[in-house]
């Protein structure tokens, strides 16, 4: 859950890139460190790469911190391809997921 708390700012920041719709939303929008955050992914927005996909969807999360050596040095990130249950998004409806 701590990973989600810190990551929400990154997700919200990149969700509107390239002029697409709100691919990812967070609730609350501006969380503080003690908040629990719900992240919702809408596959009908953005480039729609996962629209209609019926398999499992996983989040790859991490944060850039004051301990990061550069913008690519993510902290608290799982190994790429780590499909542990804690990273699996819950399917709410077709093309709508939540973490």
Domain residue spans of the chain: 2-98
* β-bridge partners, 58: 88
Residue 11's pLDDT is what? 52
**pLDDT, tens digit, for every residue of 58-86?**
998 888 889 999 999 999 888 888 999 99
Residue 88's pLDDT is what? 95
Does the pTM of the predicted model rise above 0.75?
no
Concatenated DSSP letters of the chain: -HHHHHHHHHHHHHTTGGG----EEEESSS--TT---EEEEETTSTT-TTTT--S--B----B--TT-SSTT--BS-PPTT---GGGBPEEEETTEEE-
**pLDDT, tens digit, for every residue of 51-63?**
999 999 999 888 8
Residue 12's pLDDT is what? 46
Query: What token pair was written down for 99?
Result: 């973490």
Choose the most confident range, by mean pLDDT, from 4-13, 38-47, 60-69, 71-80.
38-47
Among the listed residues 45, 58, 43, 48, the one whose alpha carbon sits nearest the alpha carbon of residue 93: 43
The Cα 85–Cα 71 span in angstroms is 27
């Amino acid at each position: 859950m701590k990973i989600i708390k810190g990551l929400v700012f990154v997700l919200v920041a990149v969700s509107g890139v390239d002029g697409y719709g709100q691919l990812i939303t967070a609730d609350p929008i501006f969380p503080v460190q003690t908040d629990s955050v719900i992240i919702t992914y809408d596959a009908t927005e953005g480039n729609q790469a996962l629209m209609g996909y019926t398999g499992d969807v996983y989040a790859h999360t991490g944060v850039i911190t004051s301990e990061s050596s550069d913008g690519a040095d993510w902290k608290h990130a799982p190994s790429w391809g780590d499909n542990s249950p804690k990273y699996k998004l819950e399917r709410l409806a077709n093309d709508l997921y939540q973490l």
